[in-house]
Structure 1
Amino acid sequence: MDYKRGRYSGFIKPLFALVDLVLLNVTVTFFDTNITNTYIFGIYISTLWIIISLKNKFYEVQRHTRVIQIIPLLIRQIVLFGFLLYAFIGFFKQPDISRLALGGYFLTVSILIFGFKFFTFYILKKYRAILSGNTRRVIVIGKNNKTRQLINTFNTRSDFGYLFKAQFSVSDPDFSLEKCFEYVINNGIDEIYFSVSELSNKQINQLVDFADNNLRELKFIPDNKDIFSHKLKYEYYEYTPILSIRNIPLKEPINKFLKRLFDMLFASCIIVFILSWLTPLIAILIKMESKGPVFFKQSRNGFNYKEFQCYKFRSMMPNKDANLNQATKGDLRITKVGRWLRKTSIDELPQFFNVLFGDMSVVGPRPHMVSHTNEYSKRVDKFMVRHFVKPGITGLAQISGYRGEIESDKDIIGRVKFDIFYIENWSLLLDIRIIVRTFTNAIKGEEKAY
């Protein structure tokens, strides 16, 4: 369970987007366009560029993408931007803008964007091929024409950034998935590729469970078997078709950026407009009833199983079991003020500082105590999938009746099912709906809020 991902590839695409925005805004200063308000123009082109990029998936260039796939992507992006660029004249009533200068700006920006796109594309390929940077370790399970073709691609296309480590043949007398699992753990393997045609349904389920519970990516090499899933992602590595079992929207840099931006804005508003005046009042109430700190911190597991300190208003008498035992109904450790704090969920508000620090998100799977995570990861199938994203102050499971004390395995299994659904179906709109529902539930009061 101590597997960590130490790569910085998640920053590459946002960095490229930032450079493009800089090019768009700096280049216009070299042309005498007669724009009356350059700030409005800068906001306009920057916002439109981001919207077009999201729609066009302009930054979704993978390590196995070919040049022939990038060209139409660039053309669509530039053409759409060109139309909306000239629409600025009508939208903001700028009759004095020089069309010729604006045309020169558009042509120059197009050349710069084209050049930067191909430059970064080839630089990343050289970085992977020559310096072995931005790489992922892989194994292949199965031995047939398609697996041989895929392994050949891994070995010959070093610019893809895959380090092929081992192949496991199902036909070998001593083959077992347990040996594969042991190899994956001991050698820090990132991705597992397997041939669907060579494994039984039971073995495929074992692979899926192992990958989920150990935070590894599992990818299919398809055959003629039917695979039914709405979340399978179909890709080509040169001429070899590859299926990814779980498509996680928050792995996309643009989605990650939007969620982080929303988190920071929302958390900042709560801290400035609510916690700034509420914290002193809560502190007085807590101190009046019992001795001890105002805030309570507890080690919990977050993104990629990493531990962090989760903050709350203290709602219990100081006790040595606070990091081991959950609060139960009628728990004598809970103070009178603490009971009210927990009933209204006000005790959770300091976690907005965790959001600001980057350990948590406003919405996501609720983080568990370290001792509970270790326990449930062994008892509950797919429990570790929850750690593919940042934990949240509230979540889909919490507004669906699975908050508070875990009284039986049914509670934690239900929580995991809702958490996985959230991870696979994330959207900003879903986050907003969960926040609104959390607020209304806090006002009405919940049965397990104790």
Structure 2
Amino acid sequence: MISNTHRNGLVVAGTLIGDWLLAMLTYWLFMSLFLDVTWDEMQLHTSVVVGVLYCACIINGGVMLYLREVKRFQIVTKVTRNVLLFAVVAIPLLKFGHFRTMDYDMVPLFLLALIVVVSSFRLCVRSLMNYYRKKGGHVTKVVFVGSKYNNLALYKEMKSITSLGYRPLGYFDDNVNPKFPEDCPYLGTPSDVMEYLANHKDVQELFCCLPSQRAEEIMKILHYCEKHFVHFYNVPNVTNYLHHRVYFNMLDSVPYLSLYREPLSRPENRAEKRLFDILVSGLFLCTLFPIILVIVTIITKLTMPGPVFFKQKRNGLNGKEFYCYKFRSMKVNADADKVQATKDDPRKTKWGNIMRKTNIDELPQFWNVFVGNMSLVGPRPHMLKHTEEYSKLINKYMIRHFVKPGITGWSQVTGFRGETKELSQMEGRVQGDIWYIEHWSLGLDLYIMFRTIANVIAGDKEAY
């Protein structure tokens, strides 16, 4: 029997080899077809250096295809980070080492081609793995010990998502549980577990949810699993009061569970995000923004009375209030801090409507990013009145304030932008914000920024 670890190792090795071969093929095609390079000894030396550096970068970046729950954009993000790391490492070394390589004006095109080729390859491998699992390949046979709600919920998840590749064989408990369906049969009491495992050596994983008072029984099963290559998993019985995903953590030797996985709780991640915010916002404020400011000021003064900027108190990190800046797109009105903008809002001017549809009105928020009130990407900040109202209606609403608000965010590029006519729309936005908080990475920020720019160019029907 080939274990999951061995299977996953084969997937990783095969993916890395295929990734490397495609990268080198892309490099050679660029050098031969587009740059008409003559292959001599010097060029072969360069190819060796390029190959070694790229191999080191993809090994460092890793492979996530074998993970049972991974999204396509995460695969593309991983590839993009690998390629960018390769560029950062390879370009200076090739230059200072006086290796013959492509002209610098061709490098961006080569890197883009590399991302597309390798991402396509990895996505194809992932699709083949999912297909293989659905057809019964790479199956992981499991049994349950204890039939409490948490193990029953595990069973339902395993059966509903066939691409996960789990095949439940049955459950053990003191008595038959009628809530378990017939295709997950009763196998006996917990004292029968070891005998069953001895007769069914194809069982690979065991999920135990017996209460801690039965520690002696649990330890016997655990020790048997450790000696006979069965992965033992303890399923904590917290679902009677926590109907939420939880995460296992360790503080030295003490385990504890958390409700949310927060990458930005780590200082190094916060520093990485903050540095990125400062560099991008500072560059924009020193280059394009002054030109845009002059144009907006002239047109605004010609089309409507009042100030060019609009500032409004909104809730930021940990609920702290700050002034969020925008270019004013509405007539001066008393409802600015109470009423959300609507599609045919009479308060908007023609010029203001243009600014809103093109997101120009949001550009002053780069100043908020630069001074640290906001980030380039994060949950959109809401006016104080809305925070007060929705925090009473939506249980998890305030969780979105665990990170800095952003100029754009995951919810905004996945269909939850604009006016919230129904409570379900705000609930969807909050769910998207929480998903972003739990899955943050710099690559995800770059992806959201790309999607935002693409939406602006294509025209977002929810921009009003």
TM-score, length of structure 1 as denominator length: 0.50
Cα distance, 1:91 vs structure 2:
10
Q: What is the alpha-carbon distance in structure 1 between the residues aligned to residue 423 and residue 340 of structure 2?
A: 15
CA contact (8 A) 2:248 2:255 kept: no
User: Quick check: 1:322 aligned with 2:343?
Assistant: no
Name the CA shift for 1:243/1:449 in 2 (closer, same or farther; >3 Å): same
Asked if the contact 1:316/1:334 (under 8 Å) is kept, the reply is: yes
Q: Is the contact between residue 197 and residue 223 of structure 1 (CA under 8 Å) also seen in structure 2?
A: no
Paired with 2:379 and 2:310, the residues of 1 have a C-alpha distance of 20
Question: Whole-Å Cα distance in 1 between the matches of residues 463 and 398 of structure 2?
Answer: 25
CA distances 1:147-176 after superposition (whole Å, capped 9, x unpaired)? xxxxxxxxxxxxxxxxxxxxxxxxxxxxxx
Selected match of 2:306 from 280, 289, 292: 292
Tell me the amino acid that sits aligned with residue 233 of structure 1: F
Which AA in structure 2 matches 1:446? Answer: D
Work out the CA distance in 1 between the residues paired with 2:296 and 2:245: 47
1:433 is aligned to 2:447? yes
Is 1:352 matched with 2:352?
no
Of 264, 268, 271, the match for 1:250: 264
CA gap of 1:329–1:225, structure 2 versus 1, over 3 A, is: same
> Residue deviations 1:190-237, cap 9 Å, x none?
xxxxxx979xxxxxxxxxxxxxxxxxxxxxxx9853779876132145
Alignment deviations for residues 381-417 of structure 1 (CA, whole Å, 9 cap, x no partner): 2000100000000000000111111111011001001
Task: Specify the code of the residue in structure 1 equivalent to 2:370.
Answer: L
> How far apart are residue 378 of structure 1 and its match?
0.4
Matched, 1:232 2:247: yes
Question: AA paired with 1:275?
Answer: F
Q: Call closer, same or farther: CA 1:242–1:333 in 2, change over 3 Å.
A: same
Q: Which runs of 5+ in 1 are unaligned?
A: 1-50, 56-87, 94-195, 199-221
Q: Once the 2 structures are TM-superposed, how far is the Cα of residue 351 of structure 1 from its aligned partner?
A: 0.1
Deviations 1:67-126 (A, max 9, x none): xxxxxxxxxxxxxxxxxxxxx999967xxxxxxxxxxxxxxxxxxxxxxxxxxxxxxxxx
The residue type paired with residue 249 of structure 1 is P
Contact kept in structure 1, 2:316 and 2:404, CA below 8 Å: yes
Shift of 1:243: 2.0
Question: How do 1:198-213 and structure 2 match up within 5 A?
Answer: none
- Tell me by how many angstroms 1:246 deviates: 1.6
2:79 matched to which residue of 1? Answer: none
| Residues 1:197 and 1:282: Cα distance change in structure 2 (over 3 Å) | farther
Aligned residues: 241
After superposition, the C-alpha distances for 1:289-341 in whole angstroms (9 at most, x for unaligned) are 11100000000000000000000000000111111111112111101110000
Matched, 1:366 2:366: no
The answer as to whether partners of 1:363 and 1:434 remain within 8 angstroms in 2 is yes
Structure 1 residue aligned with 2:394, among 368, 380, 386?
Answer: 380
2:437 corresponds to 1:423: yes
- Which of 1 and 2 has greater Rg? 2
Given that 2:314 and 2:384 are in contact with CA atoms closer than 8 Å, whether structure 1 keeps it comes out as yes
- Determine whether 1:271 maps to 2:271: no
Query: CA, structure 1 residues 391+288, in 2 after alignment: closer, same or farther (shift >3 Å)?
Result: same
SS in 2 for 1:365: coil
Which has the bigger relative contact order, CA under 8 A and spacing at least 6?
1
Q: 1:263 to 1:236 in 2, by over 3 A?
A: closer
Asked if 1:390 corresponds to 2:404, the answer is: yes
Equivalent residue of 2:407, what SS?
Answer: strand
Mapping of residues 164-175 of structure 1, within 5 Å:
none
CA distance in structure 1 between the aligned counterparts of 2:386 and 2:244, rounded to whole angstroms: 31
Change (3 A) 1:388 1:288: same
1:17-41 CA-partner distances (Å, limit 9, x unpaired): xxxxxxxxxxxxxxxxxxxxxxxxx
Instruction: Return the alpha-carbon distance in structure 1 between the equivalents of residues 261 and 250 of structure 2.
Output: 12
Where does residue 34 of structure 1 map in the other structure? none
Partner residue in 2 for 1:449: 463
Distance 2:457 2:95 in 1: 44
Give runs of aligned pairs for residues 21-420 of structure 1, distance below 5 A. Answer: 224-225=236-237, 232-236=247-251, 238=253, 240-420=254-434
Work out whether residues 233 and 245 of structure 1, in 8 Å CA contact, stay in contact via their aligned partners in 2: no
> 1:446 Cα deviation (Å)?
1.2
- Whole-angstrom CA distance in 2 between matches of 1:446 and 1:301: 25
Q: Aligned letter for 1:322? A: A
RMSD: 2.8
CA contact (8 A) 2:245 2:259 kept: no
Which runs of at least 4 in structure 1 moved beyond 2 Å after TM superposition? 88-93, 222-231
Structure 1 residue matching 2:287: 3-state secondary structure:
helix
Amino acid at match of 2:288: I
Instruction: Note if contact 1:360-1:392 (Cα within 8 Å) is conserved in structure 2.
Output: yes
